Amino acid sequence: MTETEDTGTDESGPAAGREIVIATLMRRDSHDGVRTHITHVASMLDAGRPRSGTVVTPFSSRSLTLRPVFAVRLLVAPFSGSADVWWYRRWHAHYLTTALRHRLRRAAPDATVYAQCPLSADAALRTRRVGQRVVMATHFNVSQADEWVEKGRIARDGRLYDAIRRFESETLPRLDGIVYVSDYMRGVLEGRLPVLRAVPSVVVPNFLLPVDAPAPDASGGPGGDLITVGSLEPRKNHAYLLEVLRAASDRGYRYRLTLVGDGPLRRPLEKAARRLGLADQVTFLGYRANARSLMAAHRLYCHTAVIENLPFSIVEAMSEGLPVLAAPVGGVPETLRPGVDGEFWPLDDPDGAADELIKIMEDERRRRAMGDAARQEAGRRWSVDRAGRRLLRFLVEDDRGLAAPVGDR
């Protein structure tokens, strides 16, 4: 499979396995864990021919109204967060539905649509032909409504919040399969919607391309002691990480931090770094297409998010031989083995977190042992051959296979 948007030509052809069509609201040049997952799935399919498929986004639509409609959102967003979110969901879903309808008409009768969010899943369910199936990956945390609240765009328990959660409760039970990237997320969703226990599912963590795969971005970057990767938004809690760095600095341990990512909190975080006297210790690198390529030049990965499904950045850091400090939230405990390839640290005690940081950084033998353990664990659990192939088996199972529990279900 070639990871390109639908070109209008029939790429399916004869295939020994089920055709897979990846549906996502995100454009090709978006940059986050979801897009990384799509890229990795596409590469796996490309290497595992015979398979066929395509990546379909709203931008696959040839509609002449697409760009003008999307441009209107830029005018709406500064004045109303809820209107911005409504506009995003309404029109991205509309154009994705249009593109999928066109693509699925030419897809194999038994094709699987691998949707990357509830809106993508709904678009696929409404446009699929008889015999075509829809499987969704749960990349979101708790609900997409809660994620918009965390971004400060909608009010919790407001009308749009309730509408999004209701939409999910109506859409998800209609799926032919669900891919959970963590046991945590399966527990959250099935607890909220018990009917999902009847939907065939599998827990498959985010997997990695081989280490020697070509890097999309070879521009390089600074080395340092610590590195963290993530969008600069409230949920990622980078301000707390700066407090931890200051607490360590006050004790005479001045560690250099590379902060990779961009977002609405960049300027406030830069001001906080200056206010805390950390301007010479923190490098705000901004977005990098392949942050993984920067990790090996650092000694420790730090993560302070208050909620996570299963963060790609931790998996990537471990694959590069970095120990990890993170809080035991969401799916993180399924990833990190405290005392083996990293440690848990508190999110409400900067001094206590600084203690954990200093213990690892000032014991080089222990730090290296943890890094080696992390690399081995990443190779064992998150390789294409292990996690990737398990995902593929779930996506291409025949109808009888999906009617029964798969993997750990």
pLDDT tens column, 194-212: 999 999 999 999 888 775 5
pTM for this prediction: 0.86
Say if residue 155 is in the same domain as residue 202: yes
Question: Is residue 280 domain-resident?
Answer: yes
**Residue listed under structure tokens 């809820």:** 82
The DSSP secondary-structure symbol of 259 reads E
Q: How confident is the model at residue 34 (pLDDT cuts 50, 70, 90)?
A: confident
Helix axes 81-106, 66-76, angle to 10 degrees: 160
- Classify 283 as helix, strand or coil: strand
Which amino acid, residue 268?
A: P
For residue 356 the two structure tokens come to 């954990």
* Number of structural domains the chain divides into: 2
* pLDDT, mean over the chain: 87
Say if residue 351 is in the same domain as residue 395: no
Name residue 282's beta-bridge partners: 257
**Average pLDDT over every residue of 12-33:** 68
Q: How far apart are CA 39 and CA 45, in angstroms?
A: 10
Say if residue 301 is in the same domain as residue 389: no
Q: What percent of the chain has pLDDT over 90?
A: 68
Say if residue 202 is in the same domain as residue 256: no
Say if residue 389 is in the same domain as residue 369: no
Say if residue 397 is in the same domain as residue 335: no
Check if the beta carbon of residue 242 is closer than 8 Å to that of residue 318: no
Distance of CA 164 to the CA centre of its chain: 20
- Classify 300 as helix, strand or coil: strand
Question: Is residue 5 domain-resident?
Answer: no
CATH of the domain at 53: 3.40.50.2000
Check if the beta carbon of residue 116 is closer than 8 Å to that of residue 34: yes
Q: How many CB atoms lie within 10 A of CB 97?
A: 20
173-182 pLDDT, tens per residue?
999 999 999 9
Name residue 112's beta-bridge partners: 20, 133
* Cα distances (Å, whole numbers) of residue 95 to 160, 374, 392: 21, 42, 27
Q: How confident is the model at residue 54 (pLDDT cuts 50, 70, 90)?
A: confident
For residue 57 the two structure tokens come to 């986004």
Does the pLDDT value for residue 299 go beyond 50? Answer: yes
Per DSSP, which regions of 200-341 are E strands? 201-203, 226-229, 257-260, 282-286, 300-302, 324-326
Question: Is residue 36 domain-resident?
Answer: yes
Range of the domain at 295: 226-381
Say if residue 377 is in the same domain as residue 388: no
Say if residue 148 is in the same domain as residue 247: no
> Which residues make Cβ contacts (< 8 Å) with residue 171, sequence separation at least 6?
118, 121, 122, 125
Say if residue 250 is in the same domain as residue 389: no
Per DSSP, which regions of 313-367 are E strands? 324-326, 342-344
Question: Is residue 408 domain-resident?
Answer: no
